[in-house]
Structure 1
Amino acid sequence: MSTPGSEPRDVRQPSNGEELDDAVRSMLLLMPRLVGRAKRIPVPEPLRGFALAPRHLSLLACLLLDGPMGVNDLAARLEVAPTTVSLMVGDLSRQGILERREDEADRRRRIVAITAARLPAIEAWLAPGAAAWRTALGPLGAAQRRLVVDTLLAYEEAVGRERD
């Protein structure tokens, strides 16, 4: 006769370690598919001639989602130094993708925006990804969304430590 908790291993609930291993296995299968899908998103024809790196996409996504803003605001959102953003903005401005204009409220400050000529192509390229995240995160509560974001940030940090 068995006592509670002493059932044979195959009829018990999986241990926390087994559940963790199942989740890790699922993520190891999922991540390459996510990256593969992202890489297959074609660059719109009007942007193909430009040297756009992932860091540029993050900057463009911020401007697309949040609208024109100053370099310091962009740096805070991207979690990089303002000088890094200034270099990226300068690069993209020379290519005709971004424009800098004077802030009407503070003439010493420059506002960065996507040029009107490039905005449709950038919207067509980045908006579907934003829509997909809205679909995935929309049904979740604020705390659950924060957990998803924090988990992905922790993963990124851990992978970085492993590689170093």
Structure 2
Amino acid sequence: MPRLVGRAKRIPVPEPLQSLALGPRHLSLLSYLLFDGALTVNELAARLEVAPTTASLLIGELSRKGVLERREDEADRRRRIVTIAASMRPAIEQWLSRGAGAWRGALRDLTPEQRQLFVDTLRAYERGVAGEEPEA
């Protein structure tokens, strides 16, 4: 596991993103938007497992840097839809696509049951590192 994390950390940040001081908290948010498409603030908060106010602060920070765009949801004007800014998408894709491709390749030959076991194992590891009780 340390080797896996070490290699992922060595993936170079593309030049257009280097001055933005992006950290792990930004990486998760950008990954969700890149791979799942536009999401609401509440959807992002749920996926990141943070409060909506925390997600909103992260989104605001990245919006001010020109990385993200927020727009009103046409179906519900109270909701905001968040997307990656078109000008930043190529650099973010370059940065994150190697990891996504590696996961797809690693999981490609597994059955759905084997993939689920793998995901469940990673989640159990995450809970253990966090000091949480194992699920029954």
Q: What is the TM-score with the length of structure 2 in the denominator?
A: 0.92
Question: 4+ residue runs of structure 1 moved beyond 3 angstroms?
Answer: none
- Structure 2 residue corresponding to 1:77, chosen from 33, 43, 47: 47
Counting matched residue pairs gives 132
Find the partner of 2:72 among 83, 102, 116: 102
Cα drift, residue 80 of structure 1: 2.0
Aligned to 2:90: 120
Q: CA deviation at 1:79?
A: 2.1
Query: Which consecutive unaligned segments of at least 5 residues does structure 2 have?
Result: none
Sequence identity percentage: 70
Q: Distance in 1 between matches of 2:8 and 2:15?
A: 17
TM-score with structure 1 setting the length: 0.77
Alignment of 1:3-152 (within 5 A): 31-152=1-122
Q: Structure 1 residue 88: deviation in Å?
A: 0.6
Following the alignment from structure 2 to structure 1, what is the Cα–Cα distance between the partners of residues 22 and 46?
21
Larger RCO: 1 or 2 (CA < 8 Å, sep 6+): 2
CA offsets, 1:93-122, max 9 Å, x none? 111100101111212211000001100000
Distance 1:105 1:160 in 2: 39
SS in 1 for 2:69: strand
- Once the two structures are TM-superposed, the CA of residue 128 in structure 1 deviates from its matched residue by 1.2
Which whole-Å CA distance do the structure 2 matches of 1:44 and 1:105 have between them? 36
Separation of aligned partners in 2, 1:136 and 1:109: 37
Stretches of structure 1 that go unaligned for 5 or more consecutive residues are: 1-30
